[in-house]
Amino acid sequence: MNETVLLIGASGDIGSAIAKKLINNGYQLILHYHSNQASIKSLIEADNQNAILAFYQANLANEAEVEAFIQAVAFPVDSIVFAGGHAYYGLFQDMKTEEMDDLLQVHVKSPWLIVHHFLPGMIRRKRGNILFVTSIWGHYGASNEVVYSSVKGAQNIFVKALAKEVALSNIRVNAVSPGFIDTKMNHHLSVEEANAFIDEIPANRAGRPEEVANAISYLLGEDSSYIQGEIIHINGGL
């Protein structure tokens, strides 16, 4: 296949699952991570196909680090998958301005900067995919996650708007919107809170990171060639 995917947030539970799926499907990967280097090392050690071309550390909350990261990438990028980020759990009135700025930079402005840098090459080559892992809260909103819901909603609209702009260049822009997935991001919930959430899901279970990875793999492939500007829900019917 020899297509190169830049995977943002490769060290998280969903990011790692995406990396493993894409390696098995014959993609070459450029991995980005923030702080969990052990997860990246594990991916590299398991990579028997030498599919991982490079890996880079950068804090997406720091614009200077983002700029340095994108300038350092030395390979042409065919597709970008945004699987990184973090949430803030607490009352909106208790948030500090710096915490708001952090979420805005990580989920909105840094992805803008990364896409802005690599998009011209995709347009010249007349091919590419830009994919986001957003969140159910970007559609419906969540109390105690007001700003996180806001920035995930911004990602959804960015996907829909950019998809219209680049469709004639044979570049597809889509997203997957997970519901309750069994990842570290949900480990702040007590057992009782998690069980109450699962009780609201018709499938009566949490999703798995691999199920998100499967959808990303599908959207990258030619079987989804007429899907453009869509947000695919992965939420067990929630």
pLDDT tens-digit series, residues 43-79 = 999 999 999 999 999 999 999 999 999 999 999 999 9
Which residue carries 């390696």 as its tokens? 23
Provide the whole-model pTM: 0.94
Whole-number Å distance between alpha carbons of 152 and 85: 10
Cβ–Cβ < 8 Å for 220, 232: no
Q: What pLDDT was estimated at residue 183?
A: 80
pLDDT tens-digit series, residues 186-229 = 766 777 777 887 888 888 888 899 999 999 999 999 999 999 99
Domains: count for the chain:
1
- Greatest Cα-to-Cα distance within the chain, rounded to the nearest angstrom: 52
Whole-number Å distance between alpha carbons of 189 and 151: 21
Give catalytic residue positions: 148
What is the residue range of 87's domain? 4-234
Whole-number Å distance between alpha carbons of 11 and 41: 9
Cβ–Cβ < 8 Å for 12, 183: yes
Percent of the chain with pLDDT over 90: 84
Cα–Cα distances in angstroms (integers) from residue 30 to residues 5, 66, 75, 141, in the given order: 6, 15, 8, 32
pLDDT tens-digit series, residues 11-51 = 999 999 999 999 999 999 999 999 999 999 999 999 999 99
pLDDT tens-digit series, residues 140-166 = 999 999 999 999 999 999 999 999 999
Structure tokens given for 15? 């990011």
CATH of the domain at 119: 3.40.50.720
Cα–Cα distances in angstroms (integers) from residue 222 to residues 16, 80, 121, 123, 206, in the given order: 23, 16, 20, 18, 29
Q: Which residues pair with 79 in a beta bridge?
A: 5, 129
